[in-house]
Amino acid sequence: MKIPTEIDSKGRWVILIDHHTLSTYNKCARKYYYYNQCDSLVQIQPSIHEAGEKILEGSRIQQLASQAKFGITTKGRFRFKTQVGIWWSDVMSALYEIIAKGKTPLLKDCLEIGSMLWLKHDMNSYAIQTPENSPYEVKNYEKFCDKGFVIGNLGDVTRYPVGPFNMVNDYFKERITGDVGNLKIIATEAGFGLKREIYVGENDYVVVFWVGKPDKIAMDKHSGEISPWDHKTVDYISKNFNEQWKPHPQTCGYVMATNIIVNNLGIDKKVNKCIINGAARLVPQKITPDYRGRFERVIVKYTDSEIEEWKRDVLKKVTRLREDINGREDFRIINQSLHGEEFDLQRIYNPQHYVQQESSCHLFGGCEFRPICSQPPEFREQVIKSLYKAKEPWEPYYLNEED
């Protein structure tokens, strides 16, 4: 999401921000810039060796090429594991939409939905090594899909890999019947915040609103408790899976926002928890304390004081983000120049105002923008033009015309 959304009459930046955007900024302000504030999101192009030779004349080409394989793949494609998560989230939304209508999905419905969405996301394209698809992605595809295919009448898909077929089949057997009996689905994939209904806080420099889109909001039919849900996929459900969701900006933000949404709907219910609906892409050969079953639900609870603390922290982080963009001049002087046409928007699009966090460069296999930051400043614009392509910045969701 690009920042600021607007500048108010007091010179304050009105900022709509979501978990992914703020988390990226917390990891590295420079990475945040390339994802959000650049004219468009940059992503890795194919023919890295050839492009690199043209602009750098062989200087560190091997390093650039090896670094560029990380992160987002070519032509805007996500890494296979990320794309599996997107596919799975869409499967879950479709299944719970059926339940929301008061119907019970059959196994055949679940398998058809899974197969059709597998086709829609072109998942089998990861099976073949191409300039767009690295051997690493092919290996991940084979590991998840288990090499075999289900041949049958599943929509228009005649070659549906065993792996995703079993994942949907297992979820139906373990979860669907119980959820039909226990849950009332209030909403699926319902975005919030773009109409500024989720107010976080304000100070002399910024006014902050929270934006997001939980995978579903559901009420427990027995207790009457309402909770936002988020679907997560991992390789395995490990012993540490339960521990990574608190503290967590996304879960706390969902609880805070759902409270406001429920109140606006006229429902007299207090929301104090978020549910993580975890699913493993792979099944361990043996269930142990280290590796649990395929599916796990984690209940993450927050008190009012924890939510207020989270809101204060978000306000401080967003204020620091504005400071990064402006440099470290006095805010009150800058506020005067921000009002009206005097504010130079080019400051927002200057990467030198975004501090590089070197301790984050090599985490999780390496940042996808290392090929840029590892070069001298005078070469970086050339690297971007030659090794990357443009894409629209991340947005949690879009408003419909009727909204």
For 98-119, the pLDDT digits (tens) are 999 999 999 999 998 998 999 8
Domain assignment of residue 280, yes or no = no
Q: Per-residue confidence at 8, pLDDT binned at 50, 70, 90?
A: confident
363 is in which domain, residue-wise?
Answer: 1-71+326-397
Give pTM, 2 decimals. Answer: 0.81
Domain assignment of residue 224, yes or no = no
Distance CA 193, CA 262 (A): 14
Domain assignment of residue 91, yes or no = no
Q: What is the pLDDT of residues 24-42, one digit of tens each?
A: 889 998 888 887 766 443 4
Distance CA 372, CA 52 (A): 11
Hey, which residues does 299 pair with through a beta bridge?
Answer: 275
Hey, which residues does 41 pair with through a beta bridge?
Answer: 391
Distance CA 110, CA 92 (A): 9
Bridge-based pairing of strands 183-188 and 216-220 is antiparallel
Number of domains into which the chain is organized: 1
pLDDT at 42: 42
Least confident span in 119-123, 183-187, 283-287? 283-287
Domain assignment of residue 367, yes or no = yes
Q: Per-residue confidence at 183, pLDDT binned at 50, 70, 90?
A: very high
Whether the per-residue pLDDT at 265 is higher than 90: the answer is no
Domain assignment of residue 4, yes or no = yes
Check residues 5 and 12 and name the one with the higher pLDDT. Answer: 12
pLDDT at 355: 82
User: How large a percentage of the chain has pLDDT more than 70?
Assistant: 77
> Mean of the per-residue pLDDT values for the chain?
80
Domain assignment of residue 190, yes or no = no
Domain assignment of residue 261, yes or no = no
pLDDT at 285: 75
**Vertex 209: Cα angle to 207 and 211 (nearest 5):** 155
Q: What is the pLDDT of residues 39-86, one digit of tens each?
A: 443 444 333 333 333 333 333 333 333 333 333 333 346 789 999 999
Domain assignment of residue 387, yes or no = yes
pLDDT at 279: 97
